[in-house]
Amino acid sequence: MIKISQPCVGEEEIASIRLAFETKYLGLGSKVKEFEKALQDFLNPENPPYVACVSTGTSALHLACQAIDLKDGDEVLVPTITYLASFHAITATGATPIAVDVQPDTGCICPADTLKRLSSKTKAIMPVHYGSHLGPIKEIYAIAKKHNLRVIEDAAHSFGGTVDGKKVGDEGDIICFSFDGVKNITCAEGGAVVTRDPNVFQRVSDLRLLGVFKDSEQRYAGKRSYDFDCVEQGWRYHMSNVNAAIGLAQLKKIDTFAKIRQNHFKLYTKTLNKHIGSPLPLDIENTIPHPYIFNLTNPGSLDPETMRSKRNLLMEKLLERGIESGLHYKPNHLVSFFKTHNTEPLPVAEDLWSRMITFPLHCNLTEEDIIRVAQNANELYEEIFIKEK
Ligand SMILES: Cc1ncc(COP(=O)(O)O)c(C=O)c1O
């Protein structure tokens, strides 16, 4: 079976975990501090941003939302095509996620639709680096500046990428990474909030430890706060020394991971027949592609329902041939929990939803695996979409 995604971990991670065990402290401690420093050096050794490591990418987004004081009645503009995590992070603060349509080629938030959905309640925009593409990020910052909004970048897919010579996360308002099991680097589970705003950094650092003021600093020094005060709702969202140890070993391998993922991306794009669809238009030399998201061509004027059922058949037939595939992602405005505030159709996203398919991409795959996936997809597309037309 060719798995859609998989962690790429080995002896180096085990050796690093052993070192974490030797500290005799498994919670937020010296290894987390070391990982935060390693991330700062990776992002910009000369002028590092603040980095606070947390338990997941979802908790990173949630804490970022809380750190900018989102609350009941506030609205956040967020592309409808994203993982549920982006939407849940917003609702967790009481604020409302307003689903925004996406660009047809990148699948990222559409600036024109963003402007259309601005209201007096809008407090922030949460662009998502969909399939490792940053989309119209500069336009989004321009809109935010003009309307005095905060920006929380959901950068779960784009760790390690570079834009205009700067690492993703080095620049921007608040950038949230995920290091879950299948991301560009993994901590098993983990995430990070990156910012140059000292207030956001301090809030996130405290909120991840139940809101105890400066408890992170105590723990890094091997101490704990006992006679504490706490002034707001906090969470147990900190990263553990064990997860940080895995991340430290992974970060050392990032150049190797980048090459493998980039080569696989290029090989897919070369091997998949042009007429069957198109991948996201990534600047591949400066991107570490996380999923391989591909948008199938609608070969005639298939209605979305038929297109979707044929695409699903393609996925089933791939599975019969030992190849997993996936969908990234079902638009959130179609999900029951988020429908109430998002009743308008979002046509671009709904069209992409009927045509998207994600092919396997991870560092344990060989070139032969990629060619096998692509050739099977080519063959099945002809069978399902062309011959059966
Ligand atoms: C776009 C996006 N945002 C947020 C997350 C949440 O990250 P985590 O799984 O670490 O909570 C993910 C994870 O898959 C994601 O893909």
Which tens digits make up the pLDDT trace of 205-247?
Answer: 999 999 999 999 999 998 888 999 999 999 999 999 999 999 9
Cα torsion angle, 336, 341, 344, 345, sign: negative
- Percentage of the chain exceeding pLDDT 70: 99
Give residue 389's pLDDT.
63
Distance CA 243, CA 13 (A): 10
Give residue 126's pLDDT.
99
Tell me the domain boundaries of the chain: 11-251, 254-387
Give residue 88's pLDDT.
98
Give residue 322's pLDDT.
98
If one counts every other C-beta atom within 10 angstroms of the C-beta of residue 286, the result is 16
Residue with CA nearest ligand 1 atom 8:
57
Ligand 1 atom, smallest distance to 82 CA: 1
How far is the centre of ligand 1, averaged over its atoms, from the C-alpha of 188 (Å)? Answer: 13
Tell me which of 5, 56, 58 to substitute to probe ligand 1's pocket, judged by most ligand atoms within 8 Å of the beta carbon.
Answer: 58
Ligand 1 atom, smallest distance to 61 CA: 4
Query: Between 3.30.565.10, 2.40.30.210, 1.20.120.160, 3.40.640.10, what CATH number should domain 11-251 receive?
Result: 3.40.640.10
Peptide bond connecting 220 to the previous residue in cis, omega within 30 degrees of 0 = no
How far is the centre of ligand 1, averaged over its atoms, from the C-alpha of 327 (Å)? Answer: 14
- Please state the φ and ψ torsions of residue 290, each to the nearest 5 degrees: -90, -75
Q: Which residue, among 315, 305, 287, has the nearest Cα to 353 in the 3D structure?
A: 305
How far is the centre of ligand 1, averaged over its atoms, from the C-alpha of 336 (Å)? Answer: 20
Res 291 pLDDT > 80: yes
Res 305 pLDDT > 80: yes
The continuous run of DSSP H or E covering 32 comes out as: helix 30-43
Domains 11-251 and 254-387 share a fold: no
pTM of the model: 0.98
How far is the centre of ligand 1, averaged over its atoms, from the C-alpha of 168 (Å)? Answer: 16
Quickly state the pLDDT bin for 162 (edges 50, 70, 90): very high
Distance CA 222, CA 216 (A): 10
Which CATH topology does 254-387 take? Aspartate Aminotransferase, domain 1 (3.90.1150)
- Which 3-state string (H, E, C) describes 298-335? CCCCCCHHHHHHHHHHHHHHHHHCCECCECCCCCHHHC
Ligand 1 atom, smallest distance to 290 CA: 16
How far is the centre of ligand 1, averaged over its atoms, from the C-alpha of 379 (Å)? Answer: 32
Give residue 1's pLDDT.
96
Res 62 pLDDT > 70: yes
Minimum mean pLDDT range among 27-31, 165-169, 224-228? 224-228
Quickly state the pLDDT bin for 387 (edges 50, 70, 90): confident
Give residue 300's pLDDT.
85
How far is the centre of ligand 1, averaged over its atoms, from the C-alpha of 86 (Å)? Answer: 8
Res 192 pLDDT > 90: yes
How far is the centre of ligand 1, averaged over its atoms, from the C-alpha of 286 (Å)? Answer: 21
Ligand 1 atom, smallest distance to 189 CA: 10
Report which residue type is found at 124.
A
Sequence-ordered list of residues with C-beta below 8 angstroms from that of 138, at least 6 positions apart, any chain = none
How far is the centre of ligand 1, averaged over its atoms, from the C-alpha of 83 (Å)? Answer: 6
Which stretches within 47-183 are classed as H helix? 57-67, 84-91, 111-116, 137-146
Give residue 313's pLDDT.
98
Averaged confidence pLDDT in the chain: 97
Cα torsion angle, 240, 246, 251, 254, sign: negative
How far is the centre of ligand 1, averaged over its atoms, from the C-alpha of 303 (Å)? Answer: 31
Give residue 342's pLDDT.
85
Tell me which of 180, 246, 280, 361 to substitute to probe ligand 1's pocket, judged by most ligand atoms within 8 Å of the beta carbon.
Answer: 180
Ligand 1 atom, smallest distance to 179 CA: 10
The continuous run of DSSP H or E covering 52 comes out as: strand 50-54
User: Taking CB atoms and a 6 Å cutoff, what residues make up the pocket around ligand 1?
Assistant: 56-58, 82-83, 85-86, 128, 154, 156-157, 178, 180, 191
Give residue 29's pLDDT.
95
Res 388 pLDDT > 80: no
Which tens digits make up the pLDDT trace of 253-283?
Answer: 999 999 999 999 999 999 999 999 999 999 9
Ligand 1 atom, smallest distance to 129 CA: 1
Minimum mean pLDDT range among 8-12, 20-24, 33-37, 341-345? 341-345
Res 112 pLDDT > 90: yes
Distance CA 137, CA 350 (A): 22
